[in-house]
Amino acid sequence: MAAAARVLNISPSAIAQQLQALERELGVPLIVRVGRTMRMTEQGGRVLSHVRQLLRDAADLRSIANDDALSGELHLGACTTPLMGMLPQILVQVSARFPDITVHIASGNSAQLYGQVESGNLDAAFVLEAPYLLPKTCDWLMLREEPLIVLAPARLAHRDAHDLLANEPLIRYDRNQWGGRHADEYLRHAGIRPHERFELNALNAIAVMVDRGLGVSIVPDWSPPWPEGIDIVRLPLPTPQIGRRIGVVWSRSTIRLRLVNVLLAEATAAARASSHATPAE
Protein backbone atom coordinates (compact mmCIF):
# COMPACT_ATOMS: atom_id res chain seq x y z
CA MET A 1 0.00 0.00 0.00
CA ALA A 2 2.75 2.42 0.97
CA ALA A 3 4.78 1.65 -2.17
CA ALA A 4 1.75 2.16 -4.41
CA ALA A 5 1.01 5.44 -2.66
CA ARG A 6 4.56 6.68 -3.31
CA VAL A 7 4.38 5.79 -7.01
CA LEU A 8 1.00 7.50 -7.46
CA ASN A 9 1.88 10.42 -5.15
CA ILE A 10 -1.23 9.98 -3.01
CA SER A 11 -1.79 8.85 0.59
CA PRO A 12 -1.96 5.15 1.58
CA SER A 13 -5.48 5.72 2.88
CA ALA A 14 -6.54 6.93 -0.58
CA ILE A 15 -5.11 3.73 -2.06
CA ALA A 16 -7.09 1.66 0.46
CA GLN A 17 -10.29 3.54 -0.34
CA GLN A 18 -9.89 3.02 -4.09
CA LEU A 19 -9.18 -0.67 -3.58
CA GLN A 20 -12.24 -1.06 -1.37
CA ALA A 21 -14.37 0.70 -3.99
CA LEU A 22 -13.08 -1.71 -6.65
CA GLU A 23 -13.84 -4.70 -4.43
CA ARG A 24 -17.40 -3.45 -3.89
CA GLU A 25 -17.88 -2.99 -7.63
CA LEU A 26 -16.56 -6.48 -8.45
CA GLY A 27 -18.28 -8.10 -5.47
CA VAL A 28 -15.20 -10.07 -4.36
CA PRO A 29 -12.23 -9.45 -2.02
CA LEU A 30 -8.97 -8.80 -3.89
CA ILE A 31 -6.59 -8.34 -0.95
CA VAL A 32 -6.62 -9.82 2.56
CA ARG A 33 -4.55 -8.85 5.58
CA VAL A 34 -2.46 -11.61 7.17
CA GLY A 35 -0.87 -10.34 10.37
CA ARG A 36 1.10 -7.22 9.39
CA THR A 37 1.27 -8.13 5.71
CA MET A 38 -1.13 -8.14 2.78
CA ARG A 39 -1.64 -10.92 0.24
CA MET A 40 -3.71 -11.31 -2.90
CA THR A 41 -6.81 -13.49 -2.87
CA GLU A 42 -7.51 -16.15 -5.47
CA GLN A 43 -10.02 -13.81 -7.10
CA GLY A 44 -7.43 -11.05 -7.17
CA GLY A 45 -4.94 -13.34 -8.89
CA ARG A 46 -7.46 -14.17 -11.60
CA VAL A 47 -8.14 -10.48 -12.21
CA LEU A 48 -4.47 -9.41 -12.23
CA SER A 49 -3.42 -10.71 -15.67
CA HIS A 50 -6.44 -9.07 -17.28
CA VAL A 51 -5.71 -5.80 -15.52
CA ARG A 52 -2.13 -5.84 -16.83
CA GLN A 53 -3.43 -6.39 -20.36
CA LEU A 54 -5.83 -3.46 -19.95
CA LEU A 55 -2.94 -1.23 -18.90
CA ARG A 56 -0.87 -2.33 -21.91
CA ASP A 57 -3.80 -1.65 -24.24
CA ALA A 58 -4.32 1.77 -22.69
CA ALA A 59 -0.65 2.60 -23.26
CA ASP A 60 -1.08 1.61 -26.92
CA LEU A 61 -3.96 4.02 -27.50
CA ARG A 62 -1.52 6.86 -28.12
CA SER A 63 0.27 4.88 -30.82
CA ILE A 64 -2.98 3.72 -32.43
CA ALA A 65 -4.48 7.21 -32.49
CA ASN A 66 -1.39 8.92 -33.93
CA ASP A 67 -0.41 7.51 -37.31
CA ASP A 68 2.35 10.07 -37.84
CA ALA A 69 4.50 9.24 -34.81
CA LEU A 70 5.53 5.90 -33.40
CA SER A 71 4.98 5.57 -29.68
CA GLY A 72 3.71 3.06 -27.17
CA GLU A 73 4.99 0.03 -25.30
CA LEU A 74 6.85 -2.88 -26.89
CA HIS A 75 7.06 -6.13 -24.92
CA LEU A 76 10.13 -8.17 -25.84
CA GLY A 77 11.77 -11.37 -24.69
CA ALA A 78 15.42 -12.39 -25.08
CA CYS A 79 17.50 -15.42 -24.25
CA THR A 80 20.94 -14.88 -22.73
CA THR A 81 23.20 -14.55 -25.79
CA PRO A 82 21.23 -11.87 -27.69
CA LEU A 83 20.30 -10.15 -24.43
CA MET A 84 23.99 -9.65 -23.64
CA GLY A 85 25.15 -9.28 -27.25
CA MET A 86 23.14 -7.87 -30.15
CA LEU A 87 20.01 -6.56 -28.41
CA PRO A 88 21.55 -3.60 -26.51
CA GLN A 89 22.95 -2.07 -29.71
CA ILE A 90 19.64 -2.59 -31.52
CA LEU A 91 17.86 -0.80 -28.70
CA VAL A 92 20.33 2.08 -28.90
CA GLN A 93 19.23 2.66 -32.50
CA VAL A 94 15.52 2.19 -31.74
CA SER A 95 15.67 4.60 -28.79
CA ALA A 96 17.56 7.24 -30.78
CA ARG A 97 15.14 7.18 -33.70
CA PHE A 98 11.90 6.67 -31.78
CA PRO A 99 12.24 8.18 -28.28
CA ASP A 100 8.53 7.73 -27.52
CA ILE A 101 8.73 3.92 -27.64
CA THR A 102 8.97 2.24 -24.23
CA VAL A 103 10.48 -1.26 -24.21
CA HIS A 104 9.84 -3.94 -21.58
CA ILE A 105 12.20 -6.93 -21.72
CA ALA A 106 11.67 -10.40 -20.23
CA SER A 107 14.55 -12.88 -20.08
CA GLY A 108 14.24 -16.64 -20.32
CA ASN A 109 15.21 -19.64 -22.40
CA SER A 110 14.06 -19.88 -26.01
CA ALA A 111 11.36 -22.49 -25.44
CA GLN A 112 9.75 -20.34 -22.73
CA LEU A 113 9.89 -17.19 -24.84
CA TYR A 114 8.34 -18.86 -27.90
CA GLY A 115 5.40 -19.80 -25.70
CA GLN A 116 5.09 -16.23 -24.46
CA VAL A 117 4.99 -14.90 -28.03
CA GLU A 118 2.45 -17.51 -29.13
CA SER A 119 0.19 -16.69 -26.18
CA GLY A 120 0.34 -12.95 -26.89
CA ASN A 121 2.17 -12.01 -23.69
CA LEU A 122 5.17 -10.84 -25.74
CA ASP A 123 5.17 -8.99 -29.06
CA ALA A 124 8.51 -10.45 -30.16
CA ALA A 125 11.52 -12.32 -28.77
CA PHE A 126 15.21 -12.73 -29.64
CA VAL A 127 15.66 -16.49 -29.49
CA LEU A 128 17.30 -19.56 -30.97
CA GLU A 129 15.63 -21.05 -34.03
CA ALA A 130 12.97 -23.54 -32.93
CA PRO A 131 13.41 -27.23 -33.82
CA TYR A 132 9.80 -27.33 -35.04
CA LEU A 133 7.51 -25.50 -37.44
CA LEU A 134 6.04 -22.27 -36.11
CA PRO A 135 2.27 -21.77 -35.91
CA LYS A 136 0.79 -19.56 -38.61
CA THR A 137 0.24 -16.80 -36.07
CA CYS A 138 4.00 -16.27 -35.72
CA ASP A 139 6.87 -15.36 -38.02
CA TRP A 140 10.67 -15.65 -37.83
CA LEU A 141 13.64 -13.60 -39.01
CA MET A 142 17.14 -15.10 -38.81
CA LEU A 143 19.84 -12.64 -37.75
CA ARG A 144 22.93 -14.75 -37.11
CA GLU A 145 24.31 -18.22 -37.86
CA GLU A 146 26.89 -19.56 -35.43
CA PRO A 147 29.17 -22.41 -36.58
CA LEU A 148 30.33 -25.03 -34.12
CA ILE A 149 33.86 -24.54 -32.82
CA VAL A 150 36.11 -26.21 -30.27
CA LEU A 151 37.20 -24.18 -27.26
CA ALA A 152 40.55 -25.20 -25.80
CA PRO A 153 43.21 -23.70 -23.52
CA ALA A 154 45.73 -21.66 -25.54
CA ARG A 155 48.51 -24.16 -24.71
CA LEU A 156 46.62 -26.79 -26.77
CA ALA A 157 46.20 -24.60 -29.86
CA HIS A 158 48.52 -26.86 -31.92
CA ARG A 159 46.26 -29.91 -31.48
CA ASP A 160 43.62 -31.09 -33.99
CA ALA A 161 40.02 -30.32 -33.02
CA HIS A 162 38.87 -33.96 -33.22
CA ASP A 163 41.94 -35.08 -31.27
CA LEU A 164 41.04 -32.68 -28.48
CA LEU A 165 37.40 -33.82 -28.39
CA ALA A 166 38.36 -37.48 -28.29
CA ASN A 167 41.20 -37.32 -25.77
CA GLU A 168 40.68 -34.33 -23.48
CA PRO A 169 37.93 -34.06 -20.82
CA LEU A 170 34.77 -32.57 -22.33
CA ILE A 171 32.80 -29.69 -20.86
CA ARG A 172 29.53 -30.40 -22.63
CA TYR A 173 27.09 -27.72 -23.78
CA ASP A 174 23.80 -28.99 -22.31
CA ARG A 175 22.32 -31.45 -24.84
CA ASN A 176 18.85 -31.09 -23.29
CA GLN A 177 18.69 -27.46 -24.45
CA TRP A 178 18.16 -26.37 -28.06
CA GLY A 179 21.63 -24.85 -28.25
CA GLY A 180 23.40 -28.05 -27.20
CA ARG A 181 21.69 -30.53 -29.52
CA HIS A 182 23.78 -29.78 -32.62
CA ALA A 183 27.01 -30.24 -30.68
CA ASP A 184 25.80 -33.62 -29.44
CA GLU A 185 24.78 -34.64 -32.98
CA TYR A 186 28.18 -33.65 -34.36
CA LEU A 187 30.01 -35.82 -31.81
CA ARG A 188 27.82 -38.81 -32.63
CA HIS A 189 28.14 -38.41 -36.41
CA ALA A 190 31.93 -38.01 -36.11
CA GLY A 191 32.10 -41.20 -34.02
CA ILE A 192 33.71 -39.37 -31.10
CA ARG A 193 32.99 -40.76 -27.64
CA PRO A 194 34.33 -38.05 -25.33
CA HIS A 195 35.32 -38.31 -21.70
CA GLU A 196 32.57 -36.14 -20.21
CA ARG A 197 33.37 -34.16 -17.10
CA PHE A 198 30.80 -31.37 -16.88
CA GLU A 199 27.54 -30.41 -18.61
CA LEU A 200 25.95 -26.96 -18.39
CA ASN A 201 23.93 -24.45 -20.37
CA ALA A 202 26.03 -21.29 -19.89
CA LEU A 203 28.49 -20.44 -22.66
CA ASN A 204 30.46 -17.80 -20.76
CA ALA A 205 30.87 -20.20 -17.84
CA ILE A 206 32.08 -22.91 -20.25
CA ALA A 207 34.71 -20.51 -21.62
CA VAL A 208 35.95 -19.75 -18.10
CA MET A 209 36.11 -23.45 -17.23
CA VAL A 210 38.14 -24.14 -20.39
CA ASP A 211 40.51 -21.33 -19.41
CA ARG A 212 40.95 -22.95 -15.99
CA GLY A 213 42.09 -26.18 -17.62
CA LEU A 214 39.03 -28.25 -16.76
CA GLY A 215 38.60 -29.52 -20.31
CA VAL A 216 37.64 -28.57 -23.86
CA SER A 217 34.21 -27.91 -25.34
CA ILE A 218 32.31 -27.89 -28.63
CA VAL A 219 29.98 -24.90 -28.76
CA PRO A 220 28.46 -22.36 -31.19
CA ASP A 221 30.78 -19.45 -31.97
CA TRP A 222 28.66 -16.95 -30.08
CA SER A 223 28.80 -13.18 -30.46
CA PRO A 224 30.60 -10.93 -27.95
CA PRO A 225 30.87 -10.09 -25.14
CA TRP A 226 33.13 -12.94 -24.05
CA PRO A 227 34.56 -13.22 -20.52
CA GLU A 228 37.54 -10.94 -19.99
CA GLY A 229 41.00 -12.15 -19.07
CA ILE A 230 40.72 -15.69 -20.46
CA ASP A 231 43.42 -17.35 -22.58
CA ILE A 232 41.64 -19.81 -24.88
CA VAL A 233 41.51 -20.59 -28.60
CA ARG A 234 38.52 -21.11 -30.89
CA LEU A 235 39.30 -23.92 -33.31
CA PRO A 236 37.24 -24.66 -36.44
CA LEU A 237 35.99 -28.20 -37.03
CA PRO A 238 37.27 -30.29 -39.97
CA THR A 239 33.68 -30.52 -41.22
CA PRO A 240 31.99 -27.13 -40.69
CA GLN A 241 28.50 -27.29 -39.23
CA ILE A 242 26.06 -24.68 -37.98
CA GLY A 243 25.71 -24.85 -34.21
CA ARG A 244 22.63 -22.69 -33.92
CA ARG A 245 20.73 -19.81 -35.49
CA ILE A 246 19.62 -16.72 -33.60
CA GLY A 247 16.81 -14.45 -34.71
CA VAL A 248 13.52 -12.80 -33.87
CA VAL A 249 10.14 -14.48 -33.56
CA TRP A 250 7.06 -12.28 -33.42
CA SER A 251 3.29 -12.46 -33.36
CA ARG A 252 1.59 -11.45 -36.59
CA SER A 253 -1.55 -10.56 -34.66
CA THR A 254 0.01 -8.17 -32.13
CA ILE A 255 -1.61 -4.76 -31.96
CA ARG A 256 1.91 -3.35 -31.80
CA LEU A 257 2.98 -4.66 -35.20
CA ARG A 258 4.17 -1.21 -36.33
CA LEU A 259 6.56 -1.12 -33.39
CA VAL A 260 7.69 -4.68 -34.12
CA ASN A 261 8.46 -3.67 -37.72
CA VAL A 262 10.68 -0.85 -36.43
CA LEU A 263 12.52 -3.38 -34.27
CA LEU A 264 12.92 -5.81 -37.19
CA ALA A 265 14.37 -3.08 -39.42
CA GLU A 266 16.97 -2.10 -36.81
CA ALA A 267 17.78 -5.74 -36.06
CA THR A 268 18.35 -6.45 -39.75
CA ALA A 269 20.65 -3.43 -40.07
CA ALA A 270 22.62 -4.51 -36.99
CA ALA A 271 22.97 -8.07 -38.32
CA ARG A 272 24.36 -6.77 -41.62
CA ALA A 273 26.84 -4.53 -39.81
CA SER A 274 28.18 -7.44 -37.75
CA SER A 275 28.38 -9.89 -40.64
CA HIS A 276 32.10 -9.13 -41.06
CA ALA A 277 32.99 -10.38 -37.60
CA THR A 278 36.33 -12.13 -37.14
CA PRO A 279 36.00 -15.90 -37.83
CA ALA A 280 37.16 -18.59 -35.45
CA GLU A 281 40.90 -19.15 -35.31
| Whether the predicted pLDDT of 277 surpasses 60 | no
pLDDT at 1: 77
Which letter, b or e, does each residue of 88-114 get, where b requires 16 or more Cβ atoms within 10 Å of its Cβ? Answer: eebbebbeeebeebebeeeebbbeebb
Mean pLDDT of 111-140: 92
Q: Which amino acid is at 110?
A: S
| Whether the predicted pLDDT of 129 surpasses 90 | yes
Q: Which residues contact 153 (CB under 8 A, 6 or more apart)?
A: 210, 211, 213, 216, 231, 232, 233
Average per-residue pLDDT for the chain: 88
Taking alpha carbons only, the member of 108, 117, 115 closest to residue 79 is 108
| Whether the predicted pLDDT of 56 surpasses 80 | no
Give how far the C-alpha of residue 62 lies from the chain's centroid of Cα atoms, to the nearest Å: 27
Question: pTM of the full predicted structure?
Answer: 0.71
Q: Per residue in 211-236, pLDDT tens?
A: 999 999 999 999 888 899 999 999 99
| Whether the predicted pLDDT of 159 surpasses 80 | yes
Q: Per residue in 236-266, pLDDT tens?
A: 999 889 999 999 999 988 888 888 998 999 9
* Domains in the chain: ranges and CATH: 2-50 (1.10.10.10), 69-144+245-273 (3.40.190.10), 146-244 (3.40.190.10)
Instruction: Give the total residue count for the chain.
Output: 281
Q: Are 31 and 38 in contact (CB under 8 A)?
A: yes
pLDDT at 123: 93
